[in-house]
Structure 1
Amino acid sequence: MYTMAATAMSTVSMSIVGAYMTMLEPKYVVAALVLNMFSTFIVLSLINPYRVDASEENIQMSNLHEGQSFFEMLGEYILAGFKVAIIVAAMLIGFIALIAALNALFATVTGWFGYSISFQGILGYIFYPIAWVMGVPSSEALQVGSIMATKLVSNEFVAMMDLQKIASTLSPRAEGIISVFLVSFANFSSIGIIAGAVKGLNEEQVTWFLASV
């Protein structure tokens, strides 16, 4: 389960690559697709190495649907897909609303002391050293770190829109690093989306999935 979740969050769907290319430099998107794939293989081989024994090669399939008509099967999968879509939409709205609420709360509290720092702004300071270690110049690490935090706590599209606002002020090196970083589904909202999808398909597996992540 960990391997499946990590693979899903470290890669992206080919159906939205075109959307990414309209928001980022296409060369960075293509580079990210390749780098994310190989980096996922490396991380999974270290964290969750898996070796198949000879006794495990014979997979026994059970609980298969038998005797279903075409329209019965079609209706069943349409209903399952609709259930997943509703849950995914609710998860997205909930996570984005939570981030907006935290931003407003932190800005209000820090405003009492003469500052106005959002939750994502604070995360930018936390991600400053990470951005610097990744090769971003120190003069740009705070801006890049803030975008990295935005991507982590919300989703890549929100972060890409923030990047578009400051892309002209970044060096090519910083822009390339943050662009590659953004091209993945690795964020908190994706965990909620995957959990919602699993819940819609098999409610009993949600606890197991969240424990694996």
Structure 2
Amino acid sequence: MRYVISILGIFVVLFLAWLASSNRKEIKLKPVITMIVIQLILSVFLLNTEYGLIIIKGIATVFSVLLEYANEGVSFVFGGMANKGEAPFFLNVLLPIVFISVLIGILQHLRILPFLMKGIGWLLSKVNGMGRLESYNAVASLMVGQSEVFITLKKQLDLLSTQRLYTLCASAMSTVSMSIVGAYMTMLEPKYIVTALVLNLFGGFIIASIINPYEIKPNEDLLEIQQQEKQSFFEMLGEYILDGFKVAIIVGAMLIGFIALMAGFNHVFELLFNISFQRLLGYLFAPIAFIMGIPSSEAVSAGGIMATKLVTNEFVAMMDLSGGNHHFSDRTLGILSVFLVSFANFSSIGIITGAVKSLNEKQGNAVARFGLKLLYGATLVSILSGIIVSLIL
């Protein structure tokens, strides 16, 4: 029965995307079906095969070693600030982002990352029925981040139609940057994080091709990647170290604000209505949790975590999932973990709009106008990824 509900859930997600479509006549079913099949195959491979588990263990080991290196630097600067046995979130989870950011900078400087992004993007374009620009952007968003990716395409921004701009922004919101994956791995199981990264990559194209279908002429698919001004190696190191630290500080500040706000809302709602704000959101999101394959007995609690991610950010929701007293089944934990790995929340609308506007004001205003539709599509991507995993677990 649970598989029937999950399969029905896929059709519900596709229908919800179809309702918001800007041009239903242009929707092409073949790429959509192909990419859903690819999602299922990749999920089975990563979660249910020996080779998939070897790959995930390898990736988890790499990040574990990187986090150990990062903690050497954190301990040198901040050692002694925490009591023995304590593990402050800012020191252990957020500050290692600085080191991961440096590694990304080195790979960029050595031209390894741009080569990988263009190569994988070219392969994706053969499957998704979209342009090379859109495919490159999806991979680049995953590797360098939802704000930084637009810098590599700043020459193209003014030439893009609103439809193509939507797809680029949708990819940036549906994926997460590699610099922050290490932080996720301290809270969730690595196998679900890796699976979510892959599923969201294809899911972003599936939903965008339904909500925002369009044709690209051969002469309109020129992929010109803006190279940043050549820096010396140590200039680059300094820039990426500071960028990583800014990300850690910004995420930390947002967590302070959002967690405090959620606590305040919960207290006020309990006083007025004898129910917490998060529990109320849980009831609203319970039907979505149910079509994702989560049992009805766990749907309300799961819905509360899903809603928390949408109105705050994924870190707040991940902390709730990993540290809360929810008693979820392993299957529900897997589905929720995959759902949480994306930037689909209200704050991302402002981040992406600001990033584009800093490079091109006209296009930044266009992003602001379709911001809610962007969030709607990215949330459907997360729901679809959760449903795909529910068929495998």
Indicate the TM-score class for this superposition, using the shorter chain for normalisation.
0.7 to 0.9
Q: Does 1:4 align with 2:168?
A: yes
Correspondence for 2:276: 117
Distance 1:117 1:23, change over 3 A: same
Alpha-carbon distance in 2 for matches of 1:196, 1:42: 26
**What SS does the aligned partner of 2:315 have?**
helix
Alpha-carbon distance in 2 for matches of 1:193, 1:31: 25
Q: CA deviation at 1:129?
A: 0.8
Correspondence for 1:38: 202
Q: CA deviation at 1:70?
A: 7.4
Alpha-carbon distance in 1 for matches of 2:230, 2:302: 54
* Matched AA of 2:289: A
Correspondence for 2:264: 104
**What SS does the aligned partner of 1:12 have?**
coil
Alpha-carbon distance in 1 for matches of 2:326, 2:281: 22
Larger relative contact order (CA 8 Å, sep ≥ 6):
1
Q: Does 1:192 align with 2:337?
A: no
Distance 1:29 1:48, change over 3 A: same
Does the aligned pair in 2 maintain the 1:167–1:175 contact within 8 Å? Answer: no
Q: Deviations over 1:58-92 (max 9, x none)?
A: 6899xx9xxx9979xx9xxx7xx98xx69x94x99
Does the aligned pair in 2 maintain the 1:147–1:159 contact within 8 Å? Answer: yes
**Please, which runs of 5 or more residues in structure 2 have no aligned partner?**
1-164, 372-393
Q: TM-score, normalising length from structure 2?
A: 0.43
RMSD: 3.4
**What SS does the aligned partner of 2:301 have?**
helix
Distance 1:98 1:13, change over 3 A: closer
Q: CA deviation at 1:103?
A: 5.5
Q: Deviations over 1:117-148 (max 9, x none)?
A: 22x33211100111011011111111111110
2:178 corresponds, among 1, 4, 14, to: 14
Q: CA deviation at 1:201?
A: 3.0
**Please, which runs of 5 or more residues in structure 1 have no aligned partner?**
none
Does the aligned pair in 2 maintain the 1:28–1:179 contact within 8 Å? Answer: yes
- Count of paired positions: 197
Q: Does 1:48 align with 2:206?
A: no
Q: CA deviation at 1:199?
A: 3.1
Does the aligned pair in 2 maintain the 1:95–1:189 contact within 8 Å? Answer: no
Q: Deviations over 1:3-28 (max 9, x none)?
A: 01110111111111121111101111
Correspondence for 1:136: 294
Does the aligned pair in 1 maintain the 2:298–2:328 contact within 8 Å? Answer: yes
Q: Does 1:177 align with 2:328?
A: no
Distance 1:6 1:96, change over 3 A: farther
Correspondence for 2:361: 203
Alpha-carbon distance in 2 for matches of 1:162, 1:25: 14
Question: What is the aligned-residue identity percentage?
Answer: 53
Alpha-carbon distance in 2 for matches of 1:110, 1:51: 51
